[in-house]
Chain A
């Protein structure tokens, strides 16, 4: 089955340290991969996406992600974490179906806690 996995429920990191939020996927064909962030009681905000091209994708707020086809991963990274980065992060993959229909499926989410 096509799916997205975020193996960590929570990631804790000290402010100023680098952070990584992991994501692996299992889809057929070439994946379209996304990262979103959600603050409490809010909708999702787009961070970045990989469609094709350079495996290292840069996005909003200093985040970046690296597409690794051999490891089927798309980990989110930031060189220096901020307390304000504390939020819920979702990895997603767009599934494509016949007739042009497509939809996003989400990983379970990873809560990032950045400590001062």
Chain B
């Protein structure tokens, strides 16, 4: 089946620094990728939709200057948390939608990245 990877799986950073999380579709092309965050014992909240070669679409309330998204190729999207604060600590999950195949196209999830800001 289709595989989505995330790197790193865990990261600890100091307050004020930036951290980049990568999301890759390993065996399929993804025009569209999604970034979610999940707080403990809560559901996934969509942060933004990443479109290859164009600007990301952010959900209401998500600061685009703080959560920078780049989707430079059909297999890679990155999320950069800039000037991280402890409240940014969360579990970040990416998802990639297969660009080909019958509609509705499948959406596959990565294993998540645990970010801790100290």
Contacts and interface: CB of A to CB of B under 8 A. Distances in A.
B109 A90 contact: no
A54 B77 CA distance: 36
B104 A44 contact: no
Contacts, number: 45
A107 B43 contact: yes
A43 B112 contact: yes
Nearest to B113: A43
Interface string A25-43: 0000000100010000111
Contacts of B44: 44, 90, 106
Interface of B: 4, 6, 34, 41-44, 46, 49, 57, 91, 93, 95, 104, 106-112, 114
Contact of B108 (A46, A94, A102, A105): A46
Chain A interface, >50% SS class: strand
Given A32-B104, A43-B93, A51-B104, A105 B46 contact: yes
11 contacts: A36-B109, A41-B112, A44-B93, A46-B109, A101-B49, A102-B104, A103-B34, A106-B43, A107-B43, A108-B43, A109-B42
Interface of A: 32, 36, 41-46, 51, 90, 94, 101-109
A45 B111 CA distance: 9
B54 to A, nearest CB: 12
Contacts of B46: 103-105
B42 A108 contact: yes
Contacts of A107: 43
A36 B93 CA distance: 14
Given A46-B109, A105-B46, 13 more contacts: A36-B109, A41-B112, A41-B114, A42-B111, A43-B109, A44-B95, A46-B106, A46-B108, A51-B104, A101-B49, A102-B104, A104-B107, A106-B44
Contacts of B93: 43-44
Given A106-B44, A108-B42, A94 B104 contact: yes
A88 to B, nearest CB: 9
Which A-B residue pairs are the 10 nearest by beta carbons?
A: A44-B109, A43-B109, A43-B111, A106-B43, A43-B112, A108-B43, A106-B44, A43-B110, A109-B43, A43-B93
